[in-house]
Chains A and B, each alone.
Chain A
Amino acid sequence: MKFLRPHRCGSIALSLGALAIATTAWAADPPKIDLSGGNAESGKAIAMDRAKGNCIACHLIPGGESPGAIGPALIAMQTRYPSKEALAIQIWDATVKAPEAAMPPFGRHEILSKQEFADVVEYIWSL
């Protein structure tokens, strides 16, 4: 069983003078997500669903209709991430790596359930 343990992002605070722009310091424990039960097919449906992952709203995905162009194309993922876990951390909360990232924290803010999260990771990892 594999667990995710992204480092805490609470310590990443930009010194922005008067205005504390919210790279909000969420004091949540590092997530423990079981990625082993992910189903790529379910993940694809979630990635295309406006009310769920909606990855297609911002990312080009091979085979996806009307993609947005805000984030990078989701292709060759296994050459871009050293492991499925590293990809999962990015989807969990992109501001861990890039504090100014616009991407919603799908795991940290519980936009997806744990199963949906594992499904999406499985799907994106397969691209």
Chain B
Amino acid sequence: MNKSLLTLTAIGLAGTLVSAMVTATTPEQDRETFQGYFQKRFPNVPVEDFANGAYALDPAGRENWEAIEEFPPYEAAIDNGKTLWETPFANGKTYADCFPDGPAMASKYPYWDKERGMVITLPLALNECREANAEKPYDYIKGPMAELNAYVAFESRGQTIDVKIPADDPRALEAYQKGKEFYFTRRGQFNFSCAHCHMGNSGTTLRTEILSPAFGHTTHFPVYRSKWGEIGTLHRRYEGCNKQVRAASFPPQGEEYRNLEYFMTYMDNGLKLNGPGARK
């Protein structure tokens, strides 16, 4: 990174990091910068523990959370999701006909589909399976989709995130870049980018709440949020974040959020999946 650029943006760590990530860098360099930033910022957190969000930083919060995990609030969602997975469609087929390797498949998503020229996420693939079997698609943010997603996440626990950006299709890199741009763009009346809270100010407190580090954000979805009182998907959380900064949200599973998920999950490469999760 050139020195004058660094000087220009040396207004705090986040600024420096952003500039490091937006000069001509490869996704792999971005990932190293991103993960290195958080490891430097939180030197006492073992890398794998970033999958636990704010609880990796806050011993008191962690104790409460671990107590909650004794009787996980997402358990019913996993059970319902399993039933949904196993119940045949009206045509007699099941999800297993679309996904022959079984439900332990979350680490295959999101991926770049070269033929269709778009990022395919797990909820999108599940709904496309339904539609291919003449079933109505589910709502993308909660309910049966979140439950099915919870079952797949549970069966996929322990898999290592390994999102790929195929070098032989420049549109894949473009989708990644769009996701990255979304992440660092200020929006809404409050004028926050995702990075303002979850990179530059991660670990500090908003009132009494600790802002979770961006590294690890995608590992544990869907999540049961106490605030929701139910399980919800990653794109539901995106909607909520956008609304919290008083910005217009985007459609769940629309191009914006799929590309954002592509970027964010790529940043988490190397972490293990640990969904579904329980959060405040």
Contacts and interface: CB of A to CB of B under 8 A. Distances in A.
A100 B190 contact: no
Interface stretch (A30-38, A63-71, A82-90, A118-126): A63-71
Contacts of B205: 68-70
A98 B204 contact: no
B207 interface: yes
Contacts of B24: 17-18
B133 interface: no
Nearest to B11: A100
B80 interface: no
Contacts of B189: 104, 109-111
Contact of B19 (A14, A66, A104, A111): A14
Interface in B11-66: 11-12, 14-15, 18-19, 21-24
Given A66-B207, A70-B201, A102-B197, A21 B11 contact: no
A16 B19 contact: yes
Interface residues of A, number: 28
A100 to B, nearest CB: 4
Contacts of B180: 19
A100 B207 contact: no
Label chain B's interface by main secondary structure: mixed
A57 B205 CA distance: 8
B191 A66 contact: no
B186 A99 contact: no
B265 to A, nearest CB: 19
A16 B9 contact: yes
A30 B18 CA distance: 29
Given A66-B207, A109-B191, A22 B19 contact: no
A40 interface: no
A19, A22, A58 interface centre (most CB from chain B within 10 Å):
A19
Interface string B76-106: 0000000000000000000000000000000
B192 A104 contact: yes
A6 interface: no
Interface in B197-217: 197, 200-201, 204-208, 211
Given A19-B184, A102-B200, A70 B206 contact: yes
Given A17-B24, A21-B185, A100 B14 contact: yes
Interface of B: 5, 8-9, 11-12, 14-15, 18-19, 21-24, 177, 180-181, 184-187, 189-193, 196-197, 200-201, 204-208, 211
10 contacts: A15-B8, A18-B177, A21-B193, A57-B207, A68-B206, A68-B207, A69-B205, A95-B191, A100-B15, A104-B192
Closest 8 CB pairs of A and B: A19-B22, A104-B190, A100-B15, A102-B196, A22-B186, A17-B23, A100-B11, A69-B205
